[in-house]
Structure 1
């Protein structure tokens, strides 16, 4: 499989000549953060990370993401962290879109290049360093792992999407495919991070409405995406958040593949609250 292109933000600031109006929207069912919003003035910094800044594109918040956070990390040469994750119960997924990083876990170093994927179990004590001469940019998705008595915590995973054959969705002639880094039937995992690919003209032919919360970062191409009752144009570098049960559909309208990095929560009972019961 040939290497893929991945959009990565570079920061900066739109010129004073730009129009203010664009596609940014925040509703109680979904949000769209267009790629030009990833400017210097909205970048953040983290404790114990050096030569590093990030864009927080999802976080647990009333009326927004409930189950996860998602960052786009930008690590300069020599930068990184020996104490990256402060929450011992947090699991993580890293996905590299530009440059190279080295992730060390249990004394073993794992070198990740564009398309590189890492699953990091809770309390795994990993560390990260950019040992190259170029800036590295990668997604970091974090979730509080939902432990289940009698089920083991998943093992670490280090791989690259270019080494995985996408799974074509049934009855689509290969126009809609999913790259899966984890076996969907592995009940140890309570989140999936996949890559969804649509060939030009490919569609989601019905409004998906389901319990999984979604975070979608567009890696490549463009499309018209159905979010609740609205159709929204999206392109490489845009981010979408969808609340559980928000209807969604897609029409890939560009000249090249439309691809996005997808988060969803899976494989756990719904927490029962209200009606006189605690969660």
Structure 2
């Protein structure tokens, strides 16, 4: 089945529209519906040309603290020759519309929808939209947690359409995860994956765990259990979960329900305030 990827288009609702929406921010989770991603809430970054972005997650003390996530929108000819200004930051790019030319350590790579790149800390890279259409992609950033005796992870460039999803045990393929990184590779301190539910599939228990989550709905709709609430979500919505927020899911159909998932992994828990 051909993958589809929702991306925000911006714009503004008319003056005749109701204010009521599904946006919510609680102590345990936040939901940013697709209707919140309008022109008025876009941001801009230094050293990025003809580019705007929606910041959908950033570290917040007392909430989710490990990552930021942007939806980048780059006009034809736009991009950056100095995209990352933090030498300790690692990143993941995931393309949802258009094509990107990513140059990493002098080698050019063309990326199309479904394209994934892992960018280690202290990398030398640039990104340009050399195509005729607007480029839209997710950029997930995290301060890499180095561990003595472990090297930094390697640069990766892949496409989800070339990777067989891993079926969750006992689900007959109704719940599966497309993994870009080997879970046994402890050099990685974050995973960004694509999770797919077939219509009627469920997460059959309330997951409650230490990993923080960002979940951007790429396709379909579902009902998600977040803490004490059942929340309807659809393509273009973003869910932001702090550690230990109870969570489950029911994919009601009629088509697949798919999301881009971030989680932090593979590191000791800090016992002192981070400096």
Whether these two folds match at TM > 0.5 is yes
Structure 1 residue aligned with 2:224: 225
SS at the partner of 2:35? helix
Q: Equivalences for 1:20-35 in 2 at 5 Å? A: 20-35=19-34
**Structure 1 residue runs of 4+, over 6 Å off?**
none
Matched, 1:17 2:16: yes
| CA shift for structure 1 position 106 | 0.8
Structure 1 residue aligned with 2:81: 82
Structure 1 residue aligned with 2:260: 261
CA distance in 2 between partners of 1:264 and 1:61 (Å): 16
| CA shift for structure 1 position 15 | 1.2
TM-score scaled by structure 2?
Answer: 0.98
| CA shift for structure 1 position 42 | 0.1
Matched, 1:138 2:124: no
| CA shift for structure 1 position 125 | 1.3
Once the two structures are superposed, what CA deviation does each residue of 1:178-207 show, in whole Å capped at 9, x if it has no partner? 000000000000000000000000000000
Structure 1 residue aligned with 2:125: 126
CA distance in 2 between partners of 1:61 and 1:173 (Å): 38
Q: Which runs of 5+ in 1 are unaligned?
A: none
Matched, 1:162 2:158: no
| CA shift for structure 1 position 62 | 2.3
CA distance in 2 between partners of 1:248 and 1:206 (Å): 8
Structure 2 residue aligned with 1:51: 50
Matched, 1:194 2:172: no
SS at the partner of 2:132? coil
CA distance in 2 between partners of 1:63 and 1:100 (Å): 37
Once the two structures are superposed, what CA deviation does each residue of 1:73-107 show, in whole Å capped at 9, x if it has no partner? 00000000000000000000000000000110111
CA distance in 2 between partners of 1:174 and 1:3 (Å): 17
CA distance in 2 between partners of 1:72 and 1:87 (Å): 18
Aligned residues: 275
| Aligned residues: CA RMSD | 1.0
| CA shift for structure 1 position 10 | 0.4
CA distance in 1 between partners of 2:178 and 2:126 (Å): 26
Of 63-72 and 121-130, the range deviating more from structure 2: 63-72
Matched, 1:103 2:102: yes
| CA shift for structure 1 position 63 | 3.7
| CA shift for structure 1 position 112 | 0.4
Q: Which runs of 5+ in 2 are unaligned?
A: none
Matched, 1:7 2:15: no
